[in-house]
Amino acid sequence: MKITSTSPPLPPERIVAGGEARTAAAKPSVAESEKVQLSDLAARLSQLETQFASSDFNAEKVAAVRQAIAEGRYTVNAEAVAERLLSSVAELLGRK
């Protein structure tokens, strides 16, 4: 059985959520589409990205740890990880 299209597909600019066609009157004006409002979280994320982009790190230490992991020599101190995790949770909860 052969299935054929009965009508040509809509161009992408005429398709909106829900699969309905958009008319010329439904398009937002240029001024409306240029407005951008960032949430507080997005603004904070942008601030953190800027902050960490300029932070220093020890590239040699990173390379050494990466090599140790690749060779199977890297061991994790579970007690230290657990202690720091609990400490950070307590700090987040305000229970320093």
Q: What pLDDT sits at residue 53?
A: 78
Q: What does the pLDDT average to over 43-56? A: 82
pLDDT at 1 over 70: no
Q: How far apart are CA 40 and CA 48, in angstroms?
A: 12
Transcribe 33-88 into DSSP letters.
HT-----HHHHHHHHHHHHHHT----HHHHHHHHHHHHHT-----HHHHHHHHHHH
Residue 33 confidence class, pLDDT cut points 50, 70, 90: low
Residue 56 confidence class, pLDDT cut points 50, 70, 90: confident
Q: What is the pTM of this model?
A: 0.34
Q: How far apart are CA 8 and CA 48, in angstroms?
A: 48
Q: What pLDDT sits at residue 34?
A: 74
Q: What pLDDT sits at residue 4?
A: 63
